[in-house]
Each structure stands twice: as structure tokens, then as C-alpha cells.
Amino acid sequence: MNQVDPIRDLESIQAMYEVLRKKSERDYLLFKFAIHTGVKLSELLNMRVGDVLNPNGEVKTYWVEGLAEQIHIILPERLREELKHYIQEANMDESDLLFQSNRTHKGLSRQQAYRIVHAAATKLGMHHIGLTTLRKTFAYHAYQSGISISIIQKYLGHQTTFETMKFIGISKKTSKTTIALNLQP
């Protein structure tokens, strides 16, 4: 199996957004939701509209992954607005799959999802991009934004922080933590 990488720079993420959005709103939102939540692929492909809505019918403010229920991922307001618009435009019911095949109206297969992500990456000349890239991109940017590697480890369900560091492509040599306490009055 080939190793895939996270998408590290924001310009490449933006380029993926543009390519995917030109192809379809579904593909764009599948990618965007995945890299903002780190959701497992099996959950992403089986997600129903009702999974992203709160009891008032609005898109939830935060996402909670199954194993790490104590960790809430705030969905950016723009993503929430885009999901709401997508659901309304497609006239989707709460029981409908959020990311379904346009042809069969069944869930996307892993192969279809891979083709969506890989085709966009190939168009942009990006290499080592696959489905695991989505989760790795989330974890990488969470780490870069200052989230503790132990919290990311827990969220991803990894056994060790070393496993998580390896997963996102961060070596111990390049990671640096600075703690500055001033407990004096």
C-alpha cells in the first residue's frame, strides 16, 4: 500500500476546494467536511442528513466523533451554511445519505470517494493523496494550530502519541513545545 500524506499548505487545500467545487457541490463538501472534522471514512460515507442537524433542523455547531465523545470539533460557520444550502437545494430528508451517488442515490463507495479525491489532486499535480489524506490533513492542521498531540491521539483512536506523530508526518526532531508559567503574584 502506498503511503499518503496530509495536505500541509493552505494554498493546496484552497486549490482542492476550487477543483472539487467546479465538479460538484457534493464532492467539495465531502472533502471540506472530512478535513474539518477528521471523521472516519466509514462514518463519512454512511452519514445521514440527520447526523449533521440539531433538533431545530439547523446544521450542528460542532461535530463529535464516536470514540472521543469528550472532544467536540467546531464546524466553521461557512461550512455550516454551505451544508445547509446543499441539503436544502437537494431537497434532502433527514434519513437521506448526505453524500450519495448522483446516479444510484445510494452511499458512495470507497472507490468512488477515492476517485473524487484522487482526480482532484492529480489535476493539481499533487502526489501521495488518497482517502487517508483527509484524516491526516485534519490531524496535521489541528497539531499545527496548537492542539496537544495527546488530544489528537485520543480523537484518532491511536495507541500512542508516537503513532499519531508518524500518522501526520511530524518527527520528534521538528516538534517543539514551549511552556511558560509565571505563578508569582
> What residues does 99 pair with on adjacent strands?
none
Vertex 169, ends 123 and 4: CA angle to 5°?
A: 35
* pTM, rounded to two decimals: 0.89
Residue 103: what pLDDT?
84
**What is the mean pLDDT of the segment spanning 24-37?**
97
60-93 as b/e: b if 16+ CB within 10 A: beebebeebeebebebeeebbebbeebbeeeebe
Residue 12: what pLDDT?
97
Residue 126: what pLDDT?
96
pLDDT exceeds 70 at position 174: no
**What is the mean pLDDT of the segment spanning 72-95?**
95
Question: Largest Cα–Cα distance of the chain, in whole Å?
Answer: 67
**Helix, strand, coil percent content, the chain, rounded in steps of 5:** 50, 5, 45
pLDDT band at 185 (very low <50, low <70, confident <90, very high): low
Segment of 16-30, 102-116, 166-180 carrying the highest mean pLDDT: 16-30
How many other β-carbons are positioned within 10 Å of the β-carbon of residue 171?
8
Q: What is the CATH number of domain 1-185?
A: 1.10.443.10
| CA 64/CA 54 separation, integer angstroms | 12
Residue 183: what pLDDT?
74
**Average pLDDT over all residues of the chain:** 90
Residue 65: what pLDDT?
65
Q: Cβ(16)–Cβ(30) under 8 Å?
A: no
What does residue 63 show for φ and ψ, rounded to 5 degrees? -110, 140
